[in-house]
Amino acid sequence: MGGALSLALAAKLGKTSKPLDGKLIQSHPNFESDGIFPIAVISFYGTPSKNFIDISEIPLSTPVQAHFGQNDSFKGFSDSETALELDAVWTDTIQMNRRKNFENFYRPEAQVFVYPQSGHAFMNEIEMQRRINAQAKYQATLVGDVWKRVGKFFREKLKNTCYVVLVTMFFIFRWIYSFWWLYTSLPLLTAPFFLFGFISLVSYLVPALIANFVVKPQNLKTKYNAKWALVTGQICSMASGIGAAIVRKCAAQGLNVVIVALDDNLLTETAADVTKEFPDVEFRTVGADLSGIDYMDNIIRATSDIEVQLVFNNAGYIRTGLFGHLSISTIMKNYDCNSTNYIYISHHFLNLMRERGQKGLLAYTASSGCFVPTPMTIMYGSTKVFVAQFAASLAPELYEDGIEVCCVHPSPTKSRFYDSVSKELGIVAFFERTSVGPEQVADAFFSNAGRFTIVDFGYFSVLTKIMFKLIDWNFFAEIMKIGIRVEKDYQRMKSEYAETIKEKLASRS
C-alpha cells in the first residue's frame, strides 16, 4: 500500500506548481521561504487504482523508480502484468514528450524492475514474509542488490538537504526494522541491547523535544530580578546574527544591555538601531577585539557602576583552511575569540554575582559543529567542544549559588556569519541554505535558561546526536579520516598547501 500511496502523491503534486522533482521546485518563486526540498519517488509492489488517480504522467515532473516481484499474485495492484503495463505506459509518455522543453533541463525518467522468483513483499525478512504469507522465499542477495539500486537512485536524483535527511532517516528506519526482526526472533539474546538503546534514545529525546517544542520563552528580567545584561559578539555577528537577536530580546523585556564587539561601524550601527527601537532601554557599547588580550580592562571599566547578572557569551567565527597551512597567529586569534574570552568574562562576572549574593545566568553559544570532526575548520569545532564542556562542568559549581548556566548548540543559523566562509567551503553553503533564524536561537536561550544546561537546538543538532547513538563517534572519526580525501574543497586546499610548500623550498634554495 505504501508504494501505491507514493505514486498517488507524486501524480497529484505533479499537476500542481510544486511537483516532487527538485529542479522544478527550485524554480518556484517561493522555494526558499516554503522550505521545499528536491525529492524523487520510489515504489515497492503497489500501484493506485486507475479510477482513483492517473499515474501515467509522473515521469514528466518527477524521477520515478518502481519494484515488483514476478510471482506477485495481487492482480491489478502489484502483479507482473500490472508492472509491465506500467512500464509500457511510462515509456510511451516519455516518448510522446521527448521533444518537449522542460524547465531547468529536466529529463523525464522512469525505471520499472520485475524480479524473477520473487513474490509480494519480497524485501521483507523471513519472519515478516511468513506472517503475511508472501509468495516467494526471502533472497538476501537480491534484497542487497535492490537496496544498492535504491541508494544509487537517491544519490543521482537528490542533490542537497533532502538527500542527506531522507537517506539518513531511510537507513535509520531500515536498521530499526532489522533490529526489531532480530529481537522478535532471538529475544533473550537481544533484549539487553534493546534496553540499552531504548534508555539511550529516550533519555536524549525527551529533554531534546521538551527544549525544542514544549518550553516557552521566559522573562529573564523577572526570573533573575536583573537590570543589566551583557552580550558579546565578533566581526559581523552583532549586525544580523544571534548576538543582535539576543540584544533585542533582552531590550524587549526591559533589560539594559552592554554590547561587547569589534570596534567598527557595525557596532555603531547596531547600537544606533536598537537605541532607536527601544528608547526606554539603556545601551552601552564596548569596542573590543575578543581575539586579542586587552579587552577585559575596557569591559570592567564600562560595567563598574552597574550590576550585570545576565552574561551571553556569543563571540565566535569560522576560519577555513588546513591547520598546517594557516599561520599560528591566525589559529590563536580564532582560538581566543571562540573560547579564551569566555573564561575571562565568566570568571569576572560570576565572582561579582557571588559577592553580591545575586542570582544570574551565564549563557554560551556553542555549535552543532562540535559533534563531528571538522577538518578545514579545525579551530571552530574544537573550540565549541571546549565551550560545551566548560559550561557543563561549570554548572554544578554554581547551581547552589543561584547562578545558572545554559549552553545552546544551534543548528546552522541564518546570518552574515556565512558571508565569506560559504564561498570557500561547499558544505558550509549547504548548511546556510538549511539554516534557522537567529531569533529562534535567541528564543532557545530564553526558553531553556534555568531549565536545561545543554540544549541541542534545531534539526541538525538533534539528528546528529541521534546518529551518534547508532554509530560510535570513534568509528565515525575513522570514516572521516579515509573519506575526506574525495572531498573537493579538501583536494583544493591540499593542492594550495602543496604549492605553498614548493614555493618555500624554492625560496630557500
- Render each residue's pLDDT in the chain as its tens digit; 509 residues: 778 888 888 888 776 654 444 444 444 444 333 333 346 888 998 899 888 888 888 888 888 999 999 888 888 888 999 999 999 999 998 888 876 655 544 678 899 999 988 888 888 765 555 555 555 567 888 888 898 888 888 777 665 444 555 555 666 666 666 666 666 766 777 677 778 888 999 999 999 999 999 999 999 999 999 999 999 985 444 556 899 999 999 999 999 999 999 888 888 888 999 999 999 999 999 999 999 888 999 999 999 999 999 999 999 988 989 999 999 999 999 999 999 999 999 999 999 999 999 999 999 999 998 999 999 999 999 999 999 999 999 999 999 999 999 999 998 887 665 555 545 565 666 666 667 789 999 999 999 999 999 999 998 899 999 999 988 999 999 999 998 888 888 898 999 999 999 888 888 87
CB 369 within 8 A of CB 465: no
Of 369, 380, 446, 475, the C-alpha closest to 413 is 369
Q: Tell me, what's the pLDDT at 107?
A: 73
* 3-state SS, one letter per residue, for 339-375: HHHHHHHHHHHHHHHHHHCCCEEEEEECCHHHHCCCC
C-alpha grid cell, residue 95 = 516518448
d(CA 241, CA 416): 7
Q: Tell me, what's the pLDDT at 176?
A: 66
Rg (CA), the chain: 28
pLDDT in tens, 214-242: 999 999 999 999 999 999 985 444 556 89
pLDDT in tens, 100-137: 655 544 678 899 999 988 888 888 765 555 555 555 56
Please count the other Cβ atoms lying within 10 Å of the Cβ belonging to residue 118: 26
Residue matched to cell numbers 623550498? 505
d(CA 503, CA 10): 56
CB 251 within 8 A of CB 281: yes
Q: Tell me, what's the pLDDT at 138?
A: 72
Give pTM, 2 decimals. Answer: 0.65
d(CA 230, CA 305): 14
d(CA 262, CA 82): 68
Residue matched to cell numbers 511510462? 90
Strand pairing partners for 230? Answer: 258, 311
At residue 293, the 3 state secondary structure works out as coil
Which residues, other chains included, contact 300 with Cβ-Cβ below 8 Å and sequence gap of 6+? 348
DSSP conformation class of 413: B
CB 292 within 8 A of CB 336: yes
Strand pairing partners for 419? Answer: none
Please count the other Cβ atoms lying within 10 Å of the Cβ belonging to residue 184: 13
At residue 382, the 3 state secondary structure works out as helix
C-alpha grid cell, residue 292 = 586579542
CB 135 within 8 A of CB 78: no
First vs last Cα of the chain: how many Å apart?
73
d(CA 377, CA 484): 13
**Pairing mode, strands 403-410 and 228-232:** unpaired
The residue type of 174 is R
Alpha helices in 186-241 (DSSP H): 187-209, 220-223, 237-240
